Amino acid sequence: VLKYQLYGSSGINAEYGENIQLPHTLLSRFDLIFLMLDPQDESFDRRLATHLVSLYYRNAARSKVESIDSEVLRDYIAYARTFINPRLSDEAGQKLIQTYVQMRKVGMGRGTVTAYPRQLESLIRLAEAHARMRLSNVVEELDVEEATRLHKEALKQAATDPKTGQIDMEILMTGLSASSRAKRAELAKFVLQTLKNGNKSFKMSELYDACREGYKDGFTQIQYEMVLKDLQEENKIVQTGSRTIRLKDS
């Protein structure tokens, strides 16, 4: 499970690839990704403040009821890891198949991928972990249901396209949604055209200002920097020194 904390309002409406500075090839290997956001919402702030303040005045009896002794928890986990080796029941196996097929169907109608075999493998691991937590050597349907619930909650945060509100697994696999990839391609085309119209060379600040003024759909600083990086990797532009960008000679 990966937890990543984002501060400020920009993190809420941006794809995780624009905020988390880790390669998508690594991120796609996590079974669950939860983003810890700071939404700057009064209701959220009040609930959080109430919880934190309550930690300092709750009475000992209440704390004793709500907490688990750390040594007991440590022994419980060690026992489960050592002696519990869950195996899928026939019912759980069929449930996993049905869940995966349904996940795939969600994206078929709109041309996006909503599940890969890697997600099925994640569901199997999560279901096994839930059964192990119950000290059960058999993975049952209830374990699959809980695994599916956790997986869906994680996808709502990490794999939802903020522009469409729909799940796009390409965000996890490539770091970008289909809509973002299309926008990046359009912005890259505009940058190249701007360079051609400006005698093939611009100062960094001038190129940024020209794109800001001429590109009608708007873009973020991160999106702009990603486009420049892509164009350099494709050998279409060259950065000379730290202040000038020019088209690469054919």
Tell me the pLDDT tens digit for each residue of 130-148. 999 999 999 999 999 999 9
Judge contact between 174 and 116, C-beta under 8 A. no
User: DSSP for 12-44?
Assistant: HHS-GGGT--S-HHHHTT-S-EEEEE----HHH
- At 16, the pLDDT band (50, 70, 90 cuts) reads low
Helix (H) or strand (E) holding 5: strand 2-6
Beta bridge partners of 34: 3
Cα distances (angstroms) measured from residue 139 to each of 31, 123, 164: 18, 12, 36
- Percent of the chain having pLDDT more than 90? 28
Minimum mean pLDDT among 17-26, 96-105, 218-227: which range?
17-26
Instruction: Give 96-139 as a DSSP string.
Output: HHHHHHHHHHHHHTTT-----HHHHHHHHHHHHHHHHHTT-SEE
User: Which tokens in the block code for residue 179?
Assistant: 């809509």
- Say whether pLDDT at 1 is over 60: no
pLDDT > 70: percent of the chain: 80
Q: Report yes or no: 137 and 86 within 8 Å, Cβ to Cβ.
A: yes
With H, G, I as helix, E, B as strand and everything else as coil, classify residue 1.
coil
Residues near 245 by Cβ (< 8 Å), separated by ≥ 6? 195, 201, 202, 203, 204, 207, 228, 237, 238, 239
The 10s digit of each residue's pLDDT in 144-169 is: 999 999 998 888 877 777 677 777 77
Q: Where residue 214 falls among pLDDT bands split at 50, 70, 90?
A: confident
Q: Is residue 59 classed as helix, strand or coil in its secondary structure? A: coil
pLDDT confidence band for 7 (50 / 70 / 90): very low
Q: What's residue 9's pLDDT?
A: 46
pTM: 0.66
Report pLDDT digits (tens) over 75-125: 999 999 999 999 999 999 999 999 999 988 877 766 677 788 989 999 999
User: Does the CA dihedral 108-22-208-39 come out positive or negative?
Assistant: positive
